[in-house]
Chain A
Amino acid sequence: MSEEGTIKKLMYVNRKAPYGTIYALESLEVVLIGAAFDQDVCLAFLDDGVFQLTEGQNTDGIGMKNFSKTYTALGDYEVTRIYVERESLEARGLSETDLQELTYEDEDDDWAEKPSLHIVGSDELAQLMAEQDVVFSF
């Protein structure tokens, strides 16, 4: 963020399953902390990263915090665009219905609740990625 006041397009790219490594949780924390900086943020989930968003995670048996619930707070942090690659889901036997519902409330539209999760194909994701000023990989 070299020039003050310049809004940059940032994409966080998530490609690892949760719990086995620290990447998923670290990424989420960076997103939450970074949300204070008023940038144009979006998140992408591809490859094993799609497992971060599955519904019904229960970590009681592994003694770790179930941070999947925290993704549903992203709307409060004004992170409203979350892209999941369709090809990655399909390759893993998953579909949109296996994922948590993620929404945000649109301040400019009388706080109407809108979906923030978007399933996109490789071509669209490639296009979005190429448009970014900065890409953070996790």
Chain B
Amino acid sequence: MLHLINKSPFERNALDSCLRLAQDSHAVLLFEDAVVAAMDGSAQAECLQEAMNRLSVYVLGPDLEARGLPKERIVEGLEVIDYDRFVALTCEHDTTQSWL
């Protein structure tokens, strides 16, 4: 299952709940406002790092750039992807879940 998160974890609990309920080896994609969760040193970084031990976590590059967040400063090991890869990910997974 691919979990889609598009809300800032500082405003909504979508990311928290997703990480609580995603099964091992599921994938999580951070895009739109959710990319702010990717910043290293943020209050969210630690739990994201922990989640990456059991989940594949991706972040959408264009949304990082749009918000002036440099790729060099995101949590290590996060995979930055483009729109084509976004589409490919949705095809690779049988199901997707949008956490509103």
Touch between chains A and B, by CB atoms below 8 Å: yes
Chain A residues proximal to chain B, CB less than 8 Å: 13, 15-16, 23, 46-47, 87, 122, 125-127, 129-130, 132-135, 137-138
- B96: A residues at CB distance < 8 A: 135
Tell me the number of A-to-B contacts counted with CB atoms below 8 Å. Answer: 40
Contact B20 A122 (CB under 8 A): yes
A23, A46, A127, A129: the one within 8 Å of B97 (CB): A129
A135 to B2, CA, bound (A): 11
Closest A residue to B23 by beta carbon equals A130
Which residues of B lie under 8 Å from residue A47 when comparing CB positions? 13, 17
Bound together, the chains give a CA A135 to CA B94 distance in angstroms of: 11
Q: Identify the closest chain B residue to A126 (Cβ).
A: B21
CB distance from A12 to the nearest CB of B (A): 11
A137 x B98 contact (CB < 8 A): yes
Contacts of B1 in A (CB 8 A): 129-130, 135
B51 at the interface (CB under 8 A from A): no
Interface string of B1-41 (1 = CB under 8 A from A): 10000000000011001001111001000000000000000
B89 to chain A: closest CB distance in Å? Answer: 16
Write the nearest CB–CB distance from B15 to chain A, whole angstroms: 12
Q: What residues of A have a CB within 8 angstroms of the CB of B20 in the complex?
A: 87, 122, 126
The reply to whether B99 and A133 contact each other, CB–CB distance below 8 Å, is no
Asked if A13 and B95 sit within 8 Å, CB to CB, the answer is no
A137 in contact with B97 given A15-B17, A130-B1 (CB within 8 Å)? yes
